[in-house]
Amino acid sequence: MNVDELLNELQNTWYKTIPLSEFMQVQPLSFQESSFQESSFQNLGFQQQTLTVTAPIKPNINLHQTMFAGSIYTLATLTGWGMMWLQQQLQGFSGDIVLADATIRYLAPITEAPTALVTWPDVSLANLATGDKAKVKLEVALHCKGKLCATFSGLYFSIAKTSRIKIK
């Protein structure tokens, strides 16, 4: 399965199982993997994986004609959940993903479809292979018109199931 197919499957999973995500028209935009290599430390190269997700303003409007606080939070929550789900596919594990707690700060009104971005903190989900759970703290940044409008921090757990597909 390639990245575009995975993002389609992520959206289908949301829409089939979480009606609110379909009403909000939440949509994965991209999953990117960037390689970094410190020239003076040849062995310290690392990869940064990012997921971006969006949602239009119209179904998510509030009485100030900006994005509703509940929609902003839900978009951020699903972005983090989506990254957990993608990592399970990429690392070849399967687990039930749940959010334990979260904090959000609203910094500026969102007046058009924002971009929610999460970076994977390079954590292994190998615990899932032994029937244990994996615990990952994810930070999501929401930008609108080039400006940081909200920050979200969520603690996610994934509880072991059997292993699944691998990305090619």
* Residues at the interface with its own copies (CB under 8 A): 13, 17-21, 23-24, 59-64, 68-71, 73-74, 77-78, 96, 98-106
Comparison of 108 and 129: residue with beta carbon closer to its own copies: 108
Comparison of 2 and 19: residue with beta carbon closer to its own copies: 19
CA distances from 137 to 21, 61, 92, 160 (A): 22, 29, 20, 17
Comparison of 78 and 141: residue with beta carbon closer to its own copies: 78
Comparison of 25 and 50: residue with beta carbon closer to its own copies: 25
Give the C-alpha separation, 50 to 156, whole Å: 17
* Residues 57 and 144 sit within 8 Å (Cβ to Cβ): no
Q: How far is the CB of 60 from its own copies (least distance, A)?
A: 6
Q: How far is the CB of 168 from its own copies (least distance, A)?
A: 25
> Which residue is listed with tokens 């998510």?
60
Comparison of 1 and 98: residue with beta carbon closer to its own copies: 98
Q: Among 86, 119, 91, which residue's Cα sits nearest to residue 14?
A: 86
> Which residue is listed with tokens 């691998």?
166
Q: How far is the CB of 30 from its own copies (least distance, A)?
A: 22
Give the C-alpha separation, 142 to 112, whole Å: 12
Q: How far is the CB of 43 from its own copies (least distance, A)?
A: 40
Q: How far is the CB of 134 from its own copies (least distance, A)?
A: 17
Give the C-alpha separation, 140 to 150, whole Å: 8
Angle between helices 3-17 and 69-91 (to 10 degrees): 130
